[in-house]
Amino acid sequence: MNASLLDGLRGRLPELALKTAAADLEYYGRDWTRRWTPAPLAIALPSSVEEVQGIVRWASEQRVAIVPSGGRTGLSGGAVAANGELVVSLEKMNRVLGFDADDRILAVQAGIALEAAQAAAREHGLIYPVDFAARGSCSIGGTIATNAGGIRVIRYGNTRNWIAGLTLVTASGEVLELNRGLVKNSSGYDLRQLVIGAEGTLGIVVQAQLWLTDAPPESNTMLLALPSFEALMRVFGVLRARLQLSAFEFLTDKALAHVVAHGAQKPFDEDHPFYVVAEFDADTEEKRDAALTAFGELLEAGQVADGVIAQSDAQAAALWRLREGITESVARYVPYKNDVSVRIGAMPDFLAQTQALLAQEYPQFDVVWFGHIGDGNLHINVLKPDAMENADFVRECGRVTALLAEALQRHGGSISAEHGIGLVKKPYLSSTRSAAEVALMRSIRHVFDPAGIMNPHKLLDTGSTHPVYGETA
């Protein structure tokens, strides 16, 4: 049956690249969660918007589910294809389409890597400011699908702040041009913003218009060692008041130990329980002096135990590696990841309660904390012991995540700050969204995709029946 289906797709689109080898199905059928066994129907690699249209129309006629695919660096199961879906990889649609100097808009295909888009912006003396460690492998389409944030949200905000327009292929194969780069547009619902963060459930983003901006002033980086958990938010308050911060990143001693074991240089002779990497404007002597003064006052007050301010670009890069290298350094454990957020004002109480909760519920596990504390985003990585069965590990982590979700609900937080809901966080969506909100989202999804073919089972269940799954899709 599968062969007959694919023959029909090949007949419809004879130039379309299709992959069906077992190694390709496994490679394209999973994301970084590594929790589900890949089992896609095939991998389609379109090279044009017209081919994407043809694929979607064929899939709609044949009731074949589609999983849009970018760099598959997601951490919530949003790009998993485990039930005979057709993976639509946009890796061939990776070009810069143009640059408008007047509007400072860079037009790109959705399959372009974030790092390549950043490089294209620099060629015009500007920057695309969304940034994080997976910049070399994640795609612009993937960052749009999850409204990715990253390490400089304090200064620039999330992905949705920088999307001037989108081209979307809907589940019926229609092409929508959303917003078209307008700064002001009060002509009804902003469907562009609805698509951002929708995880491919409302259609396939095939092109994007990115707003660019001026490069920031010369910056510098400092690494601070903190003697206690309670000092974290106090240090943030002082630095935010005294400096123009672009990043304020937090990590624990366990996180640092994993990065050092992975090849990074240990920054201090002594070990400390908590660390902060802060990036700040340093284009004038006054700003540089302000950083030294703030550091000295924090040291004298006992809020900081040690610290270093980078004296070169190479040293700044080495300090950033201590933060950006965490995910890679723990990857071999296939960690269970929580990506949560609360308002900055709620962060002290939430951090204290979460620390107590995890210490009580995870005494047998290595728990690695880090995050973008400056924007209220905390990452919690629970590492599986080698001797423990994965199913038992996931079950135990799911139990504790339910408790974490209850704490988030009490603090008005979100179970997903920037990784998306996907398959992993779907059971806990109600801690972030009310029943009325979920019902409206389900209705919106049905309007965009009445047949339920676009990334089914991700984000939320629609209540409709799909023949591929035999249950709600």
CA atoms within 13 A of residue 454's CA, in its CB half-sphere? 28
* Residue 315 and residue 240 in one domain: yes
Whether the predicted pLDDT of 469 surpasses 80? no
Whether the predicted pLDDT of 146 surpasses 80? yes
Domain region containing 54: 2-89
* Residue 317 and residue 385 in one domain: no
* Residue 207 and residue 244 in one domain: no
Mean pLDDT of 54-60: 97
For CA atoms 53, 57, 60, 65, the dihedral sign is: negative
Whether the predicted pLDDT of 467 surpasses 60? no
Whether the predicted pLDDT of 77 surpasses 90? yes
Residue pLDDT, tens place only, 17-50: 999 999 999 999 999 888 899 999 999 999 999 9
Mean pLDDT of 401-415: 96
Q: What is the pLDDT of residue 468?
A: 41
Q: What is the pLDDT of residue 463?
A: 59
* Residue 232 and residue 312 in one domain: yes
Q: What is the pLDDT of residue 230?
A: 86
CATH classification of the domain holding 415: 3.30.70.2740
Helix-helix angle 2-12:49-62, to 10 degrees? 140
Q: What is the pLDDT of residue 1?
A: 63
| H-only helix segments in 1-113 | 2-12, 22-28, 49-62
Pick the more confident residue, 4 or 206. Answer: 206
Average pLDDT, the chain: 94
* Two structure tokens written together for 305: 């135990």
Q: What is the pLDDT of residue 330?
A: 93
The residue from 302, 327, 352 where one domain ends is 327
pLDDT class of 346 with cuts at 50, 70, 90: very high
* Residue 440 and residue 348 in one domain: no
The residue from 327, 348, 368 where one domain ends is 327
Single pTM value for the model: 0.92
* Residue 318 and residue 406 in one domain: no
* Residue 300 and residue 228 in one domain: yes
Least confident of 129-133, 287-291, 312-316: 129-133
The residue from 29, 54, 89 where one domain ends is 89
* Two structure tokens written together for 304: 């900081």
Q: What is the pLDDT of residue 373?
A: 85
Q: What is the pLDDT of residue 222?
A: 97
Q: What is the pLDDT of residue 2?
A: 81
What 3-state DSSP class applies to 402?
A: helix
Closest CA to 379 of 387, 367, 371: 371
Q: What is the pLDDT of residue 472?
A: 41
Indicate the length of the chain as a whole number.
473
Whether the predicted pLDDT of 111 surpasses 90? yes
Residue pLDDT, tens place only, 434-463: 999 999 999 999 999 999 999 999 999 865
* Residue 104 and residue 134 in one domain: yes
* Residue 418 and residue 450 in one domain: no
CATH classification of the domain holding 275: 3.30.70.2190
Q: What is the pLDDT of residue 4?
A: 87
Q: What is the pLDDT of residue 234?
A: 93
* Residue 169 backbone dihedrals phi, psi, to 5 degrees: -100, 115
* Residue 75 and residue 113 in one domain: no
Closest CA to 20 of 31, 28, 30: 28
* Two structure tokens written together for 471: 């249950």
Q: What is the pLDDT of residue 135?
A: 92
**Would you say 307 and 299 are in contact if contact means Cβ atoms under 8 Å apart?**
yes
Residue position matching structure tokens 């550091």: 295
Mean pLDDT of 272-291: 97
Q: Which residues 6+ apart lie within 8 Å of 283 measured at CB?
A: 217, 218, 219
Q: What is the pLDDT of residue 200?
A: 97
CA–CA separation, 454 and 55 (whole Å): 12
Q: Give me the amino acid identity at 205.
A: V
CATH classification of the domain holding 124: 3.30.465.10
- For the chain, how many structural domains are there in total? 5
Q: What is the pLDDT of residue 473?
A: 38
Percent of the chain having pLDDT more than 70? 97
* Residue 103 and residue 199 in one domain: yes
Whether the predicted pLDDT of 470 surpasses 90? no
pLDDT class of 221 with cuts at 50, 70, 90: very high
* Residue 339 and residue 296 in one domain: no
Mean pLDDT of 337-349: 93
CA–CA separation, 332 and 259 (whole Å): 13
